[in-house]
Amino acid sequence: MKNRHILPLAAVMLVVGILTFGTIFLIPWLPTAAAVEAVRTDQLIWFETIVSGVIFTIVTSFVIYSAWAFRAKEGDESDGPPTHGNTSLEIAWTAIPVVLIAIVAGWSVLVVNRNETAQKVQDVVHVKTWQYAWEFDYPSLGISSGDLHVPEGTQVKLNINSFDVIHGFWVPQFRLQIDAVPGITTHLLFTPNKAGTWYVICNELCGEGHSQMRARIIIQTPADYAAWAAQAQAQATAAAAASSTPAATH
């Protein structure tokens, strides 16, 4: 490349780079990450986004600068000079993408593997779905709830069933989703790591009430979670006692 092209090309690259990376970093593209799995997924997404931004900046800058610097003069109807390719350039633009794709593929396998590794200590919750509601049963506590309460820092295993059509269990803050399919039980593992209230959103078009099919997911500190569980258990015991007592007025 001739020296006189280097400075103006660098200037174009600077402008394109600022616009590209401004768009990448100044817009909050991703929702809060509230689980260990979300953090792992986001690291991979950011790696891919930044690499894509660098490649986009280089390619776009060359295209913009070349369209301006090598444009035909007015009235010039002649052919351009013949070009026979450039072997080292072709090797580079083949080898670099191969290496990048290998990195992304390997990294993805690691993320999926780690996300799907069961820990020794787990809370198990049975998720029941139907048009258009969620119910969460806690077999170890003997209670059920319309909100999904989970403690921070402990892996949760969901066993998911549907009683009618296919629904989708999706929590954007976890970057995870799995279908609820009638006739089979599907599973999802996650480890919440940020206390707060988010939503479980149905992610399969399941009927006219689909867009309203949401439940709260409440991530609590272990102490708050234990307090909630104790209160819910006391309520369940009181309700069972009341329903088994014969009513005097009848």
Binding pattern to Cu ion, positions 140-169, x when CB under 5 A? ---------------------------x--
**Among 176, 188, 206, 218, which residue interacts with Cu ion (rule: CB under 5 A)?**
206
Sheet holding 155-162, edge to edge: 143-145, 133-138, 122-130, 155-162, 186-190
Minimum separation from the CB atom of position 38 to Cu ion (A):
22
Q: Does 202 bind Cu ion (CB under 5 A)?
A: yes
Minimum separation from the CB atom of position 204 to Cu ion (A):
6
For residues 194 and 214, which CB has a smaller minimum distance to Cu ion in the complex? 214
* Secondary structure, 3-state, the chain: CCHHHHHHHHHHHHHHHHHHHHHHHHCCCCCCCCEHHHHHHHHHHHHHHHHHHHHHHHHHHHHHHHHHHCCCCCCCCCCCCCCCCCHHHHHHHHHHHHHHHHHHHHHHHHHHHHHCCCCCCEEEEEEEEECCEEEEEECCCCEEECCEEEECCCEEEEEEEECCCCEEEEEHHHCEEEEECECCCEEEEECECCCEEEEEEECCCCCCCHHHCEEEEEEECHHHHHHHHHHHHHHHHHHHHHHHCCCCCC
Minimum separation from the CB atom of position 206 to Cu ion (A):
3
Pick the piece of the chain touching Cu ion (CB under 5 A) from 29-37, 52-60, 171-179, 212-220.
Answer: 212-220
Minimum separation from the CB atom of position 205 to Cu ion (A):
8
Q: Does 40 bind Cu ion (CB under 5 A)?
A: no
Size of the site for Cu ion (CB under 5 A): 4
Minimum separation from the CB atom of position 214 to Cu ion (A):
10
Q: Does 215 bind Cu ion (CB under 5 A)?
A: no
Minimum separation from the CB atom of position 180 to Cu ion (A):
8
**Among 213, 215, 217, 218, which residue interacts with Cu ion (rule: CB under 5 A)?**
213
Pick the piece of the chain touching Cu ion (CB under 5 A) from 59-67, 88-96, 202-210, 225-233.
Answer: 202-210
Per CB under 5 A, residues contacting Cu ion are 167, 202, 206, 213
